[in-house]
Structure 1
Amino acid sequence: MRMLDLGDIRLHYRDEGPADAPPVVFANSLGTDMRLWDPVLPLLPDGLRLIRFDKRGHGLSTCPPAPYTMGALITDTEALLDHLGVRDCVFVGLSIGGMIAQGLAVKRLDLIRAMVLSNTAAKIGTPEMWSERIEAVRQGGIEALADAVMERWFSKDFRATTELELWRNMLTRQEDAGYIGCSAAISGTDFYTTTASLRLPTLGIAGAEDGSTPPDLVRETTDLIPGSHCHVIRKAGHLPCVEQPQEYAAVLTQFLRDTGHV
């Protein structure tokens, strides 16, 4: 575990694998930390450089006062990749991580040669919806939203298992300010026009039972990019890398092979 000092905040990250190996960068969702990728990483091919991080307000990174902007989240990620000397990575972004991927690809195409837009969209929800969620967290903490979030995140079958408690605890133990800050960033983001300008290999991944970014929304976003395709994982919600890690890893591995990254 390492920390990158960006001046106003410090970013917690992990950089695993050979420094000269093809880099794959992972950005996780609202309300989770980098452990989101633990089920998938051991299933990927050897010989990759695997980079993941906690965005501001999440995990072990600094939690500055809310609100945050998507521009700040993108700049944080850009600074991390520059610090690590990363070029031509495959960027895997889930939910808000997928929004960061879209924005970073527009800003710095030298950093990203291909991207995976997992359970995300060019625009997620409405400002009114996010305002209601932000106010609920201000009044009652993340706990006030936790049960509803679990319904959006996971399939009915998964919610009946003891594993659910792990992810509910991860959510509720995040900083309220971090959740509010990143919610504000999502609320203010509409990447339809800019994402439609991108020309790079893109894979969409969706969960058939995703209550946050349903498959049609993910497909609508990936369809903005010529030549992209979208894979739907059954018996999974918003975090298919948790519910169906074998299939998630297999689809990601095939994309890495198709793009010549492995």
Structure 2
Amino acid sequence: MEWLEVNGTVLRYELRQGDLPPTVLIHEMGGALESWDMVWSLLPAHQTLLRYDTRGSGLSEKLLDTPSIDSHAEDLAALLDALGLTEPVVLVGVAVGAGIAIRFAARYPHRVRALIAMAPACGVAPDARDATLARAKALREQGLRELVPALLERTWPSPLRTDAVRYATFRSRWLTADAASFAGIFAMLAKMNLDDDIPKLPARSVLVAGTYDGLRPPQEIDRLAALACHIQSIHVASGHFMQIQSPKWVATLIQEFSAGTQDCADIYRKFIAAPGNRCGAVQHAA
């Protein structure tokens, strides 16, 4: 792991050089680059991979106030420049990380060759904004312990908790996240709407919905995909944090989509049909 100061903030990152075009992995709110450990280990050693802690997360510099989604996109652009990664990348994000990927792809279309956005956070409904801002205020005052159980019920429900150690590790990691930074991201979401970015995404873009995701359910992902005719939308038997709940499926999707396979639904059908594969629900995709 290394650190770089870019765009006015210090980011921790890990870069694995290979002979394939770069793939960038962006974690969820409250997560860190370790959120990608299992997917990282499943991807080919010759694949160029970059993962990093977004500002406010992991061991990157923490937030003192509410960031903007543009500052996150600019962080990634500056990090790629600093690392000399100038060719178009495959962007893979989950939840808020997927929102960052969407804004980056919309602002820097020449730098993205394909996009995979899992349970993308593109803002909150207008009637939920006041409640989201109130939650951000409560987080700053009370910390994470009261919020985490309710969020986990919606994002990692009991049918997905067949691997108790994996679930406990994630819960503990969330509880140790920086509460002020967590609150800042909540406040950012309350003011954010990425609907207009969807039509600007690259021709090879897919939005992935987890059928067990109570926070960002399939109907919301389908609504987003319907904003542009070239966006694919698929439903998979997983939850909100697919890279942890279904890492084998996510690694397969990244490999196939990066290699140029267009039909993500076909990728999923073949994955499920393979012996021993499941995608999160009841049995994990190891």
- The residue matched to 1:143 in structure 2 has which SS? coil
Task: Say whether residues 1:93 and 2:93 are aligned partners.
Answer: yes
Deviation per CA, 1:164-211: give whole Å up to 9, x if none. Answer: 221111111111111011112222111112322334210122211112
1:72-151 alignment, distance < 5 Å: 72-86=71-85, 87-125=87-125, 126-151=128-153
Q: Which residue of 2 aligns with 1:153?
A: 155
Shift of 1:117: 1.0
**1:194 maps to which of 183, 192, 197:** 197
Shift of 1:50: 0.6
Distance of 1:7 and 1:202 partners within structure 2: 27
Deviation >4 Å, runs of 4+: none
Distance of 2:66 and 2:173 partners within structure 1: 21
Structure 2 length-normalised TM: 0.84
**1:205 maps to which of 205, 208, 211:** 208
Distance of 2:172 and 2:107 partners within structure 1: 35
1:1-262 alignment, distance < 5 Å: 1-6=1-6, 8-18=8-18, 20-86=19-85, 87-125=87-125, 126-159=128-161, 161-234=164-237, 236-258=238-260
Shift of 1:128: 1.7
Deviation per CA, 1:63-105: give whole Å up to 9, x if none. Answer: 0302111111111111111112222100001111111111111
Distance of 1:15 and 1:95 partners within structure 2: 22
Q: Which residue of 1 aligns with 2:279?
A: none
- The residue matched to 2:259 in structure 1 has which SS? helix
Q: Match of 2:145, as an amino acid?
A: E
Greater mean alpha carbon deviation, residues 210-219 or residues 117-126: 117-126
Shift of 1:230: 2.1
Are the counterparts in 2 of residues 22 and 47 from structure 1 also a CA contact under 8 Å? no
Shift of 1:155: 2.9
Structure 1: give runs of 5+ residues left out of the alignment.
Answer: none
Distance of 2:161 and 2:214 partners within structure 1: 13
Shift of 1:7: 6.1
Shift of the 162–224 alpha-carbon distance from structure 1 to 2, 3 Å rule, reads: same
Distance of 1:154 and 1:15 partners within structure 2: 29
Structure 2: give runs of 5+ residues left out of the alignment.
Answer: 263-286
- The residue matched to 2:172 in structure 1 has which SS? helix
Are the counterparts in 1 of residues 115 and 202 from structure 2 also a CA contact under 8 Å? no
Are the counterparts in 2 of residues 9 and 64 from structure 1 also a CA contact under 8 Å? no
Residue identity over aligned pairs, in percent, reads: 26
Are the counterparts in 2 of residues 12 and 54 from structure 1 also a CA contact under 8 Å? yes
Deviation per CA, 1:3-46: give whole Å up to 9, x if none. Answer: 1112632011110132x531000111111111111111222234
Matched pairs, number: 258
Q: CA RMSD in A?
A: 1.9
Q: Match of 1:230, as an amino acid?
A: S
Structure 1 length-normalised TM: 0.91
Q: Match of 1:255, as an amino acid?
A: F
Deviation per CA, 1:208-248: give whole Å up to 9, x if none. Answer: 111221112122223333332222221x2101221121222
- The residue matched to 1:110 in structure 2 has which SS? helix
Greater mean alpha carbon deviation, residues 88-97 or residues 151-160: 151-160
